[in-house]
């Protein structure tokens, strides 16, 4: 059975979420064994929130769930690639399709290279 080696990462492994249709990289998060099992069980991405120290169902609050279309593991079995269908057209909690919405310019400044698709304050409340 193809399963990540959670021991290598101290119980957490990196997960890349990539749009199954466009192949755009949407985000990087982490999984523990519980998140892995829940993802396989539900067909929707679940992660481990390192800041909140809790299991996190992607889109559980916003509705921007990630329906898993394929699960791939790297050669060392310590990184997961999820090919997903992104609901709501946004993976980033800041309102962008991808969490990688900033590009570093030659002078070191940040340039937005993606359009914002929703207002986080309307989705998550005033504290967003």
Q: pLDDT for 48-79, tens place per residue?
A: 999 999 999 999 989 999 999 999 999 999 99
3 is a domain residue: no
103 is a domain residue: no
- In 3D space, the residue among 8, 23, 60, 11 whose CA is nearest the CA of residue 39 turns out to be 60
Q: How high is the pLDDT of residue 113?
A: 93
3-state helix, strand, coil in the chain (%, to 5): 15, 35, 50
State pTM to two decimals.
0.92
95 is a domain residue: no
Digit-coded pLDDT (tens) for 7-45? 988 999 999 999 999 999 999 999 999 999 999 999 999
> How many of the other CB atoms lie within 10 Å of CB of 55?
15
Digit-coded pLDDT (tens) for 82-122? 999 999 889 999 999 999 999 999 999 999 998 899 999 98
Could you tell me the CATH number of the domain that includes residue 28?
A: 3.10.20.810
Domain that holds residue 30: 13-88
Q: How high is the pLDDT of residue 123?
A: 86
100 is a domain residue: no
Q: How far apart are CA 116 and CA 92, in angstroms?
A: 9
> Which residues have C-beta within 8 Å of that of residue 24, sequence separation ≥ 6?
18, 97, 98
106 is a domain residue: no
Domain total of the chain: 1
Query: In a 3-state reduction of DSSP, which class is residue 66?
Result: strand
115 is a domain residue: no
78 is a domain residue: yes
1 is a domain residue: no
Helices (H) and strands (E) in the chain, counts: 2, 8
> Which residues have C-beta within 8 Å of that of residue 26, sequence separation ≥ 6?
17, 18, 19, 66, 84, 86, 91, 92, 97, 98, 99
């Amino acid at each position: 059975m193809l399963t990540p080696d959670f021991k290598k990462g101290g119980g957490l492994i990196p997960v890349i979420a990539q749009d199954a249709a466009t192949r755009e990289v949407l985000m990087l998060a982490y999984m523990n064994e519980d998140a892995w099992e829940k993802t396989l069980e539900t067909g929707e991405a679940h992660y481990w929130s390192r800041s909140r120290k809790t299991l996190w169902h992607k889109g559980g609050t916003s509705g921007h769930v990630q329906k898993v279309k394929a699960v791939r593991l790297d050669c060392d079995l310590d990184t997961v690639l999820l090919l997903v269908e992104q609901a709501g057209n946004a993976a980033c909690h800041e309102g962008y399709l991808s969490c990688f919405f900033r590009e570093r310019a030659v002078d070191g400044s940040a340039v937005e290279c993606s359009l914002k698709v929703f207002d986080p304050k309307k989705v998550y409340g005033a504290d967003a």
